Chains A and B, each alone.
Chain A
């Protein structure tokens, strides 16, 4: 997969901490895109508009609202959740996060930790956006109007696998609509006009 930027949502009330953290991340050797949110609710409201790979939350915003946090987390299953800690918190609260970083951590260790969640994908940015043979087959059948089920039957794979190929096709090409993908397939000579 080729995502060349890891997009991070930072939920942090302190401007000083936010400015510092986002500056250090943006100037590191990895590629990050950073957005700030004032609260977890605000992040949730934007979830349909924008996808994030990682969310970094100040645990103070979660304290005493664990149930609600759990519900919001469940609604956004694709995101990895981390805590940014600069005061004392209950270890039980911190256990609810996928990772914990602290104000006293070195910049390198924070960056390494964040990029470890998408290690291959970020380093992969230089590889071509070319589709695998299987993905190309799925794409061709899609442009011919076959459904997921029909494609699965034709290629002898599960519907689940077809869906995962489709997801990869969209991620690699940055094209989401079927008419758009058809033009892509024509321009890459996967199909020709008369077929």
Chain B
């Protein structure tokens, strides 16, 4: 059988059923700070009870289900900016405190049964990459996101600001290439022996992280950026 059908998530659907179909939605709920114990609640009710902006929830959950947003769906309003930033901050926390350390830990464990030189190479590659990721995430948390929040104020003083949405767009660095390289090195090139369980865990982790990073950058590029771009233009016009 070949099934092309993915579920396009709508407000009246029951969350538990959707999680059953796509368990990666659990991670997304963690980012939204919604408890997993959803009972029989619909998306609509779940969002209302947890004070989650439903249009943002729908765009993001559909991304997790494999639907890239089109222009009409992205046209969420200004109110969506803080929830999206909040969501992204939670993803950053997860990467920094959970996912990357987990992979780092697995690589450490690989030393036990593998060629020390090979693993030392991999470890160095990973550590350098991890540093780049931290720098990227901190820059967003400390520079970009505060600027976007500033834009939302009724009379933001942005004419003095050296930072801009354009600046952010230009410096939006790619943190996915090296992750993919690491994955391909372990999968195809560096010859590792035995340790099936551990190697599978490393690869699963890398795949999971890769998918989540991809969704994360799609949210930034296709949802957040067009939105703050619009707001910034509006505020600059107001200032004139």
**Cα separation A22 to B177 with both chains bound (whole Å):** 29
B190 to chain A, nearest CB (A): 5
A135-160 contact mask (Cβ, 8 Å, vs B): 1 or 0: 00000000000000000000000000
Q: Which of B88-96, B120-128, B138-146, B155-163 contacts A (4 or more CB under 8 A)?
A: B120-128
B197, CB-defined interface residue at 8 Å: no
Which one of A23, A26, A129, A193 lies within 8 Å of B188 (CB-CB)? A129
Assuming the A-B contacts A22-B4, A23-B2, A193-B117, are A174 and B182 also in contact, with contact meaning beta carbons closer than 8 angstroms in the complex?
Answer: no
Inter-subunit contact B178/A187 (CB<8 Å)? no
**Cα separation A187 to B189 with both chains bound (whole Å):** 7
Which one of B70, B178, B188, B191 lies within 8 Å of A38 (CB-CB)? B70
B5 to chain A, nearest CB (A): 9
Inter-subunit contact B190/A175 (CB<8 Å)? no
Q: Which of A74-82, A92-100, A177-185 contacts B (4 or more CB under 8 A)?
A: A177-185
A66, CB-defined interface residue at 8 Å: no
How many contacts between A and B, using CB within 8 angstroms? Answer: 56
Chain A residue nearest to B178 in the complex (CB): A177
**Cα separation A95 to B40 with both chains bound (whole Å):** 56
B180, CB-defined interface residue at 8 Å: yes
B181, CB-defined interface residue at 8 Å: yes
Which one of A38, A176, A186, A187 lies within 8 Å of B181 (CB-CB)? A176
Inter-subunit contact A173/B184 (CB<8 Å)? yes
Which one of B125, B180, B191 lies within 8 Å of A179 (CB-CB)? B125
A19, CB-defined interface residue at 8 Å: yes
8 Å CB contacts to A: which residues of B167-216? 177-178, 180-182, 184-185, 188-191
B21, CB-defined interface residue at 8 Å: no
Inter-subunit contact A177/B181 (CB<8 Å)? yes
**Cα separation A114 to B188 with both chains bound (whole Å):** 29
The count of chain B contact residues (Cβ–Cβ below 8 Å) is: 23
A150 to chain B, nearest CB (A): 24
Chain B residue nearest to A34 in the complex (CB): B4
Inter-subunit contact B125/A180 (CB<8 Å)? yes
Inter-subunit contact A175/B122 (CB<8 Å)? no
Residues from chain A with a CB closer than 8 A to the CB of B129 are 179
Residues from chain A with a CB closer than 8 A to the CB of B191 are 187
Which one of A23, A38, A183, A193 lies within 8 Å of B122 (CB-CB)? A183
B118, CB-defined interface residue at 8 Å: yes
Inter-subunit contact A183/B177 (CB<8 Å)? no
A159-195 contact mask (Cβ, 8 Å, vs B): 1 or 0: 0000000000000011111011001101110000100
Chain A residue nearest to B129 in the complex (CB): A179
Can you show 15 pairs from A to B with CB atoms below 8 A apart? Answer: A27-B2, A49-B218, A174-B184, A175-B181, A175-B185, A179-B129, A180-B125, A180-B178, A180-B182, A180-B184, A183-B121, A184-B185, A187-B118, A187-B121, A187-B189
List 3 A-B pairs, minimum CB-CB distance, nearest first: A180-B181, A174-B184, A187-B190
